[in-house]
Structure 1
Amino acid sequence: MCVTSDFDLMCVPSDSVRLVGGRSLCSGSLQIQDQSLAQSWAGVCEGALDRRGAEVLCRELGCWAPLLQGALSPLGQTFHCEGNESKLMDCNRTRTGPETCPTLNLTCKEPLRLVGGASRCEGTVEAELRGEWRRVTSYRWDLEAAAAVCRDLDCGSPVSTEKRVGSDSKVWFVGTDCVKKKSSVRDCLYDDGSSSSLLQVICSDSVRLVGGRSLCSGSLQIQDQSLGQSWAGVCEGALDRRGAEVLCRELGCWAPLLQGALSPLGQTFHCEGNESKLMDCNRTRTGPETCPTLNLTCKEPLRLVGGASRCEGTVEAELRGEWRRVVPYHDWDLEAAAAVCRGLDCGSPVSTEERDGSDSKVWSVRTACVKKSSVRDCLQDDYDSSNSFLQVICSDLLNVPEVSVSEGVWAPRAEGELFGPRAQEGDWASPGEGGV
């Protein structure tokens, strides 16, 4: 089975099995093609495979061991594999007729690794393609792209990433836009020769925020040995303010901004506040339960300097512990500046412009990226230096509806959660609470 990626033609060495509907070629619903089915593709029922059968399938597809196992059976009800077969259809099989049943969903690990780091969730990115391991590099790279590496390794969120120069060798190139489309690193690899460039990524290994607008916001999930390494949501009230501060710091973000339903005393995590990881905090063990999931937003490592208030001035950001001015590649506008104001909890952009100043080291940012994510997630170290800088003025007195820009016309969007009443000092209140 062959598929065309953005850059290359990649072939999966199987003509009888496939995973469909997943975010990569290594995940999805299992389908088989069989002579007895007149060559049509048919779904496979939950429980049809055991662990050994799933391992045979993943190996046949050029992937690694099963990661998310769907509804596997202790003894495969349809496929009975020894584990050393090269193809799933080589396994002994109990023939079954057409039936209505839930389809088996499976995710295999990607042939990917981080080497040279302190744990399996940090180091230099390497990938296997056509049986050959090489370093992975990219022409453009940022935290949003690094999220695909962490996701493929079943680690948490990317905390930091950078391109470095090493020895010249054959490498796999990865398409940044491709992995940002919620695909996988493996599906976006192509061979473009050799390079001295390499990618380093550090992921959080046991916590992540998912479903938010940026990597510093979303629903809290944890990964724990007692949960069989599966990711599980954390209930509202599980953290207090100190626990939320530990979590944000672990993810490379700043202090909690939108606190969700924090408890005055964390009901699950009891943090002193100086821990480096949330899972280092004392914890009250709780069993599986149905509850509202805790949502949290941490501040971005971002600031506006030289203005009359914290909500106006020159844009600066911190990446890997270093503060620099931020400059765009091109086409900076008010819609892009909205990401700056949003990351600072400063309302909406009032004005923005790009100016020339003294030459210095800068972080570059792609405008299209920040319009969908955040400034932090889109920073790149692509320029040695620049004399350009950005100035932004945000509305810091009143939380007005967020705007979009189309051909110079301002249009209000629907209000989000930020516009409701808040309990913490310094938070936004709607105009209806006391008027303007």
Structure 2
Amino acid sequence: MMESYTILSLLLCLGVASAYSNFDVRLVGTGSNEWMGRVEVFYNGEWGTVCDDYWGLEDAKVVCRQLGYTGGASGFTIGAEFGQGSEKIFLDDVRCDGTENRITNCTYLLNTVGGTNCRHSEDSGVKCQGPRSTDEVVPAVVVPDVVVRDGDVRLAGAGSSANQGRVEVYDNGQWGTVCNDLWDIRNALVVCRQLGFRGATSSRDQFGQGTGPILLDNVECGGDETSIMECRKNPIRSHNCYHHEDAGVICSDAILVRLVGPGSSANQGRVEVYANGRWGTVCHDLWDIQNANVVCRQLGFPRATAATSGARFGQGTGPILLDNVECEGDETSIMECRKNAIESHNCYHREDAGVICQDDKKRQLEDVEFYLKKEEQMAAAPVSDGKTDDDLKTKDILQALSDLLAELKDK
């Protein structure tokens, strides 16, 4: 009899486990019902909560849409309004623009070990509205397990942006700050290169105080390390500092991007970006000419003539770093565009994106060759014995263009 119960229990567990996919969502908690409650996400067989850092109405709209509510969201909650969860806190720093179909299409931090700088008193919630249609629930998309790794860095704090901010390091499920003892431009240079910038212009500590643990102190980099964790430093969490000593950086030059692959050249190829100390590819989901324009301008070209997909320039072998990139077209770096969190994707290398940029030198050559053809046509045409001033001016112009073409071809 006991054996029958054991088998039945196992079957029930298997049935429950198979009913959910990674990053499905549900609404639970005190005072919750089918249309409002604490947001929980399913990941690797467990339900967990979402921290309310950056949580807002746009994020709530996405959760409600994922649940099938056609009216979107009427509100969002923070501070565990629907009670505190007791499970892991899986997601933090969720930032949606409100148009995504699933929370996985937003940017976020995935805490695979359940550790964050949040407490359950910060659990987030939503209030949905409108009829619910199960037909509109979007199928699950599984993303890689690792989105944030120990030793990754980010820039945060008051006045921070893509290239400047308070330096924070990720370790054992938590983001923490770096003390400014011994902090100098060489340390800043390593952090900036780890983030994909070419250099650093400042090692200032002007971006406000952090609230998490102080993870690093007495950092001494030589300047050529690929990660701050390779530099000399105290053991992690060993310090004599306060948060008013949190270190920061200002990085210089655009985030690194390159064009590579079979058939690539200076102005065309598979797009690869540099982040977290590694080169990686870009998935072609949502890839279009606006994205290509941003990449080409970042490389110094005026614009793109084509955005390629399907690994036209061969398949990469490193990580796939970016997915669902959506540029407006006026950004100065691809990293300023809307996109998934770094390494959050559902792609394969056969979906690597590429670009073909307009080559100014090539365009100049084409323009000059056009005028030279005109010169040949004029030379072949019958002419009268009389030469006007206009005839002579035209000849001088065409001779100058011929000289320019020869000069360009020599370069």
TM-score with structure 2 length normalisation? 0.40
Larger Rg computed on CA atoms: 2
Higher strand share: 1
Of structures 1 and 2, the one with the larger relative CO (CA 8 A, separation 6+) is 2
Higher helix share: 2
